[in-house]
Structure 1
Amino acid sequence: MNYIFDFSFLAEGIWPLLEGLKTTLLLALGANVLGLTVGFVVCLMAMAPLWVIRLPAKLFIEFFRCTPVLIQVVWFFYCVPILFNVFLDPITMGVLALGLNLIAFNAEAYRAGIQSVPKEHHDACVALGLGPWIKTVHVIFPQALRNAIPVLMTNGITILQQSALVAIVAVADLMYAGKILATDTYRPLEVYTTVAVIYFLMSLPISQVVTYLERRQDVSVER
């Protein structure tokens, strides 16, 4: 191997990458806000006793879980404006495309968390005369959230990494900035290595927190 790595271009080229990083963080943050909030609502709909509520939610979950994220992103950016005459800025479209995918996965995480709540707690709510809303918000949701946090955080890491797919539709995120910089500097190995390291440094702390939380949950279960 005669190739010599040269990262000197980063002295000036790092700034476009940092601008792209801001867009990546906006996309990941927006998608996670949607996934954490709407995901729980979709979860409740998917567990509803009425099929007219349950069926659309389950179809939504299965569609977004069983189709590639890349196809979803491309479909949103090119098909939604044509079919529905809806034109939004690229960041908003990216957040929606990634967020809807995350909603589906988080809904399943919440469902597993709700199902892990002991049946005795449900019975206690009935015995105390708590209404469905009070029961859901003050009893079921806190426990389901605690149980689902490791999976939700893992899903958050995944959507952060998958946000790189918006570069395909020319959204100026970290990956897109890296592609432009690689073309300008003729240093694709160095540029994409730098981009990979940035993604790694963003994901590693979160993954360590997930590991810590999983260990704490294992200890609490053993007790």
Structure 2
Amino acid sequence: MNYSFNFNAVSFEPLLKGLIVTLELTLAANAIGLTFGFLVALLIMSRIAAIRLPAMLSVEFFRCTPAIVQIVWFFYCVPMLFDVYLDSMTMGILALGLNLTAFNAEAYRAAIQAVPREQLDAGIALGLNPFQRVLYIVLPTAFRASIPVLLTNGIGIFQQSALVAIVAIQDLMYQGKSLATETYRPIETFTVVALIYFAVSFPVTQIVGYLERRRQLLMS
């Protein structure tokens, strides 16, 4: 192979700007996913079919279709069908946030089902109404139990945020593609981009592993 590597051609300034956009997308999507994921999980567990079925269908839609299709659909179909025009960053956050909501809803649902019945009975004995039982008993218990899965889903959406580059959001992947085109150094550029994604993702995966081990020790 006669290819001569030259990593000095890779400018870090545009990549860091793209990383900031990627982190903004990730944090906003996680805020949506953490909040609405729990609410959707409650809807899925409703005894009323008219409430439960639409929630289940929405979750299955986002879980069973590619994220890239969802992003493109939001960017091109929502304005045409609903006459709603939002900036590209907002649309990207909504697409990623709703995708994450579906996966977090399943994590919350499993955790809610694992809440000990004794805790709910204690809430009833204390005179807590259903809303208070959800707020003070179910939510804290389910959230703690699902933290490893929520963190895994969160880092997954950080990686999937690279897909918004196809709709011209200037995230890390978009900046990498632009830089590779300008410098004619795609190998070096995308190697650096991959290392940046790894540098952000790896510590979180280690935290997830630690929390899983700690949870298993507490349960044993």
| TM-score class, shorter | over 0.9
Secondary structure in 2 matching 1:57 = helix
**Structure 1, residues 141-192: CA drift from partner, whole Å, max 9, x if none?**
1110000000000000000000000011111110000000000000000000
Secondary structure in 1 matching 2:115 = coil
AA aligned to 2:182 is: D
Distance 1:35 1:106 in 2: 6
AA aligned to 1:37 is: T
Matched with 1:133 is 131
Note the C-alpha offset of 1:128.
2.6
Moved beyond 6 Å, runs of 4+: none
Gaps of 5+ in 2: none
Note the C-alpha offset of 1:87.
0.9
Note the C-alpha offset of 1:121.
1.5
Note the C-alpha offset of 1:37.
0.5
Matched with 2:95 is 97
Distance 2:169 2:207 in 1: 30
Matched with 1:54 is 52
Matched with 1:9 is 9
AA aligned to 2:149 is: V
**Structure 1, residues 74-95: CA drift from partner, whole Å, max 9, x if none?**
0001111111111111110000
**Structure 1, residues 111-159: CA drift from partner, whole Å, max 9, x if none?**
0111111122222222332211111111111110000000000000000
Give % identity: 60
**Structure 1, residues 40-66: CA drift from partner, whole Å, max 9, x if none?**
111111111111111111111111000
Q: What pairs up with 1:136-155 in 2 under 5 angstroms? A: 136-155=134-153
Q: What pairs up with 1:69-84 in 2 under 5 angstroms? A: 69-84=67-82
Matched with 1:170 is 168
Q: How many residues align?
A: 220
AA aligned to 1:130 is: L
Secondary structure in 1 matching 2:217 = helix
Distance 1:84 1:113 in 2: 36
Note the C-alpha offset of 1:30.
0.7
Matched with 1:197 is 195
Gaps of 5+ in 1: none
What is the root-mean-square deviation of aligned Cα atoms in Å? Answer: 0.9
Secondary structure in 2 matching 1:172 = coil
- 2:19 pairs with one of 21, 26, 29: 21
TM-score using structure 1 length: 0.96
Distance 2:123 2:158 in 1: 38
Note the C-alpha offset of 1:107.
0.5
Secondary structure in 2 matching 1:59 = helix
Distance 1:126 1:4 in 2: 71
Distance 1:78 1:173 in 2: 19
Distance 1:129 1:52 in 2: 29
Distance 2:178 2:18 in 1: 11
